Structure formats: C-alpha cells, structure tokens
Amino acid sequence: MENNMHYSDKFLKNTLVLNKKAQITEGYHIAYCFDDNYAMPAGLSLMSVIENNPNIAINFHLFTNNLSKQNLSKFETLAKQLNCTITCYEIDSNFSVNSDTLVLGISIATCLRFIVPEVLEKITSKVLYLDCDTLCVGNLEELFNKDLNNKLAAVVADMEYMQDSQGKMYDIPYGEYFNAGVIYFNTLLWNKNKLTEKTFKLINDGNVYTFADQDVLNIVLKEKTLLLSSDFNNLTALSVNGNEDAKVEKNTKIIHYITKNKPWHQPYKTNLFNHYFTNSPWKSMLLPLYNDNKTSSIRAYAKLMFRQKKYLAGIKHYIIYLKTKFKK
C-alpha cells in the first residue's frame, strides 16, 4: 500500500458537501454512521445537537451505506433549515465485515465508525462519533474541550453486567469496558497506530464478537481511553409510554436509547423524540409500530391497543406476536 493511501480509501465511493453556503473551515466535528433505515434517527440526533449548542460551530459528517435519494434530499433540506455544514460520505458496495459476528441484528453500517478517524484525520485532530439512537439535551463544549493527550479516545463505561461479561471476556480492567455509542476519537493517535486497518483485521479474523464493533473497539483501545461521566452517554431503556428520557439527571448531555425499543416505535414514543420529529423533514413519515424482530415489542403494542379499547387491532398484533415467538 502506498504511503499516501489510507486503508479506508477503497471503501469511499463519493463525497458530497450539502449546503456549501454554510461551509466552515473551523469548529468542532461530529460523525454519524448509518444505512437508510437509520437516516431519520440520525437526522433528529443532528437536530438536537444544533438546538442545544446554538453558539458552537459544528461540522457534521455522515458516513452512509445505501442511503436513498429521498433521504439524501431530506438531509439537504435539513442542512439549509439549520444553516449547518453536512458532508456525506457514500460507502462503496465492497465494504464488508464478517457476517457471522453480526449476531444481534447489528447492521454492517455500525462498523463504518472504524474508518471515521482515518477519513477525517486531515480535517481535524478530534472527532465525536454519535450513534443514531442518541439525542443531545445539553451543551457539548465541555466534551469538545477535553484534552485527550496520549489517549486514543474519550468514552463512557458500559453497564455493570457488560463489565462482568464482555469486559472479563477480553481481559479489560473492570469499569473500563465502554459503550461505543459515544466516542470522542483522537484522530492523530488513532492513525499513528493504524487502528482502522487493525479493527477490520480483527472483526474479520473468523471469531464471533457478540457486540461486533463495540467488542473490537474495546480490544484495540484497551487501557488507552479517557473515561467520561455518564452525563455524556446516558444509557436509557424505554418502557411503554414511560417517557424515561424526561427523567434523566439534569446534568445529562446525551441520551442513548440502548435497547431495541426505540422512541420511533409507537408504544415507546416520547415527548422529546416527538419534538424533533414533528419539526423535521421526516415529519410525514409513517413510523413503525414496533421492532419486528423483538417479540416483547410486538406484545407491548398489542397490549397498548387493548388498553386503548382497539380490540381488533389488539387481537391482530397479539396473533403476530405469537407467530413470531414460535418461529424462534
């Protein structure tokens, strides 16, 4: 491989700057990685960052896999609506990872974060990666100003049960196995250690990593991370009509919806989600009733229909729940 070539170059098909009038050369940088299914949540997360950081110049970078023209158009609308800079990186079809390790229904697009620090190295020394199922509820300047020094990234520790399972499995010091939904990358140090190439080799080495990219990132960043408070990655699980995101600690900056029950599923919709959804280019989109692959989500919707006295709909979706359950 030539010295001026990056490992990730072979995956990049096209780069498109949306709303060039708002293009800036300074400011902070935030990246999202997603396929067409997560375009809407990514857009809403981006909106929440802008709303809660009105006086901060932020460049947004979208690493997309099979993004439809319709959703690309909505991001163009969003860029003009918010007067912000959005750069879209289209990934080539030859991008692939070991499918056997995507055991939890994880999209291949989640592994696009491996290339983010490499692609953006010439643009910035630090970039904040956010999962699409996040919403920003506070100012991020404190995070942006973190001095990473000799650390590869700033992260937030995952829950205790993940320390006991994944942390022990990969011999990671207790309390340091992190959730990969929020990562503040040191791009210079990442590339000095050639971690894009190392992460791809690891995830394609034939082993099954239950949490795919998250396990791999924990392995390559082991003992080289700066641990942040949970304010920057508040791991939030939703219940039916629970509005849990309205009950987080007041110092929370980023809410991360960690289960398969998302706020864009009917039984789990929240007021916070609706605030952004109804003001977005996706506002006319028909939201899914539930996660088709999660039986508890289907059952929750059936129960919701019964509580609303919509008995035929309740019976219909309870039958769907039973069929799905016994297929497994």
Q: How far apart are CA 289 and CA 194, in angstroms?
A: 43
- Of 199 and 298, the structure prediction assigns the larger pLDDT to 199
To the nearest 10°, the Cα dihedral for 164, 169, 171, 173? -20
Mean pLDDT over each residue of the chain, to the nearest integer? 92
pLDDT (average), residues 182-209:
94
- What separation in angstroms does the CA of 211 have from each of 111, 130, 208? 11, 17, 9
Q: Is the pLDDT of residue 230 over 90?
A: yes
258-317 confidence digits (pLDDT tens): 988 899 998 889 999 999 999 999 999 988 887 787 788 888 888 888 988 999 999 999
Q: Is the pLDDT of residue 328 over 70?
A: no
**Gap between the terminal Cα atoms of the chain:** 45
How high is the pLDDT of residue 2? 46
Q: Report residue 97's pLDDT band, with 50, 70 and 90 as the boundaries.
A: confident
What φ, ψ does residue 278 adopt, rounded to 5°? -70, -10
Q: How far apart are CA 39 and CA 22, in angstroms?
A: 21
Strands 153-157 and 225-228: parallel
How high is the pLDDT of residue 1? 40
Domain boundary assignment for the chain? 7-257, 290-328
- What separation in angstroms does the CA of 10 have from each of 53, 65, 121, 162? 35, 14, 16, 34
Contact between 281 and 77 under an 8 Å Cβ cutoff? The reply is: yes
pLDDT (average), residues 13-32:
85
Q: Report residue 3's pLDDT band, with 50, 70 and 90 as the boundaries.
A: low
pLDDT (average), residues 114-143:
96
Q: Is the pLDDT of residue 196 over 50?
A: yes
**pTM for this prediction:** 0.92
Q: Report the CATH superfamily, name and number, of domain 7-257.
A: Spore Coat Polysaccharide Biosynthesis Protein SpsA; Chain A (3.90.550.10)
